[in-house]
Structure 1
Amino acid sequence: MTMQGRLSAAAFRFFQEGRPDEERWELIAGTPVMTAPPPIDHNRIASNLERLLNDALEHHDPDREAVQRPGLELGLGPAVLAGLGFAGAYRPEPDVAVIDDDPVAGRRLVDRAHLLAEVVSGTDEEPVLPDGLPWIDAKTRLYRAHEACRVVLIVEQNRIDVVVWERGPDGWVARCLAEPDAVLDLPGFGLRCPVGSLYAGTHLRPRQRLA
């Protein structure tokens, strides 16, 4: 579902406040777009990643937590967005984010995320820029421009495949993990686990049934 008309970022947040909690909206080039309910596998992967990160952060850095689908203020002004090739306002909603642990009743929005993760869905492959850039690639570009972000994860839901973007002293470096036994090693978050752990309980790594 797509709403007609262009909104600023502030107008979009006001619009979101009046929508039911179960609805999920993103702002793409100033246009509010409601995304369809994701497949169960998509939710399972996001839940697995959230749990793995929180288990690791509990011991490594208890001042941070992993959450699903926070409202994210990227802190990117029009000039920065234009330099990235974007026109209009954008407010993507990450599937999982590592944020500062600050329990506040009714909290919806954050302006600092240290890790941002997307589980790729069908709508993520749709082009959103004039040059045909898919939404998932646009989100990756936006997340990497977020000053606080140190890691971006792009997780495929229909095959075991995780792209890990890490910010280093010389900029961003990507690596691809495409085997279930490949190690997802994120020392800044205390996480080290097999990539297959993200897919536990999905059709790619189903639970073992009792005989």
Structure 2
Amino acid sequence: MPALLTDASRLDAHRTFWDFVASRPDEEKWELIEGRFVMQAQPSIDHQIIAGNLDRRLSEGLERIGSDRVVLQNPAIDLRPVIEGNAYVPDAAVIDRSDVEPGRSVSGTCYLAAEIISPSDRRKPSSSNRGKIAIKLAGYQALPMCDVVLLIEQRVVAVTLAIRDAGGWITRRLTDPGERLILPAAGLDCRVLDLYARTSLARARRTA
């Protein structure tokens, strides 16, 4: 779990972060990671296709089971009060419908977080000894309401699935394209390869 921040400068950074984001163009995606402002790299086309595939399947699954939760792409998740100095923008997340309000741009809930991994996600932010994705994974797992984290590789067909149970977090890595990814609480039941439909990886498999 990320350490709770007590340094005044980092707390100030959190208070000013949303004002900064509001001043930036909509196409820019910023995160607050351990008190530092971090801009997300422009996603590749494959990255965006995978995000769309996951969004569609989660949306259909939630509707099918009659859930009152919703899935969003690139939502801003505020980790306070659990962790200070951190606000993440996962590639997709399942949040509570109560967070959907006119003018609201930040969610305080996150039941499922999904990150599509690009090389920049494994780089270490300035003055940190951990990669960006490692920091974010620990942050999601620290949230009491978050029960699932998906780390979807962009350059190979592979998904790391972390699920919370009564004894803590269980992590599995799914590399068989035909293996099923089943998340009953989100109504999700699909093959790993289904997340890569219409990507360059899927096209390469068809022509190999």
**What range describes the TM-score normalised by the shorter chain of this pair?**
0.7 to 0.9
| SS of residue matched to 1:136 | helix
- Rounded Cα–Cα distance in structure 2 between residues aligned with 1:61 and 1:111: 22
- Rounded Cα–Cα distance in structure 1 between residues aligned with 2:81 and 2:51: 26
The aligned residue for residue 14 of structure 1 is: 19
Which is further off, 22-31 or 113-122? Answer: 22-31
- Rounded Cα–Cα distance in structure 1 between residues aligned with 2:203 and 2:67: 31
- Structure 2: stretches of 5+ with no match in the other structure: 1-8
**Could you tell me how far 1:130 is from its partner in structure 2?**
5.7
Whether 2:147 is the aligned partner of 1:150: answer yes
Is the CA contact 2:78–2:86 (under 8 Å) kept in the aligned structure 1?
no
Residue deviations 1:42-73 (CA, integer Å, cap 9, x gap): 11111110110000000113311110111101
Question: How many positions carry a matched residue from both structures?
Answer: 196
- Counterpart residue type for residue 178 of structure 1: T
The aligned residue for residue 202 of structure 2 is: 205
Residue deviations 1:81-116 (CA, integer Å, cap 9, x gap): 6xxxxxxx2222111000112442222100011100
| SS of residue matched to 1:54 | helix
Whether 2:123 is the aligned partner of 1:101: answer no
| Aligned CA-pair RMSD | 2.2
Judged with a 3 Å threshold, the aligned counterparts in structure 2 of structure 1 residues 26 and 59 are, in CA distance, closer, same or farther, namely same
Whether 2:172 is the aligned partner of 1:175: answer yes
Is the CA contact 2:80–2:86 (under 8 Å) kept in the aligned structure 1?
no
TM-score w.r.t. the length of structure 2 is 0.87
The aligned residue for residue 55 of structure 2 is: 50
**Could you tell me how far 1:187 is from its partner in structure 2?**
1.1
Report % sequence identity. Answer: 39
Residue deviations 1:133-159 (CA, integer Å, cap 9, x gap): 211111100000011101000000000
The aligned residue for residue 129 of structure 2 is: 132
The aligned residue for residue 5 of structure 2 is: none
- Rounded Cα–Cα distance in structure 1 between residues aligned with 2:160 and 2:75: 21
- Rounded Cα–Cα distance in structure 2 between residues aligned with 1:23 and 1:188: 32
Q: Which has the higher helix share?
A: 2
**Could you tell me how far 1:22 is from its partner in structure 2?**
0.8
The one of 73, 83, 86 equivalent to 1:90 is 86
- Counterpart residue type for residue 16 of structure 1: V
- Counterpart residue type for residue 185 of structure 1: I
Is the CA contact 2:147–2:163 (under 8 Å) kept in the aligned structure 1?
yes
Is the CA contact 1:48–1:199 (under 8 Å) kept in the aligned structure 2?
yes
The one of 161, 164, 175 equivalent to 2:161 is 164
- Rounded Cα–Cα distance in structure 2 between residues aligned with 1:188 and 1:35: 29
**Could you tell me how far 1:128 is from its partner in structure 2?**
3.1
| SS of residue matched to 1:27 | strand
Q: Give the ranges of 4+ consecutive aligned residues of structure 1 lying more than 6 Å apart after TM superposition.
A: none
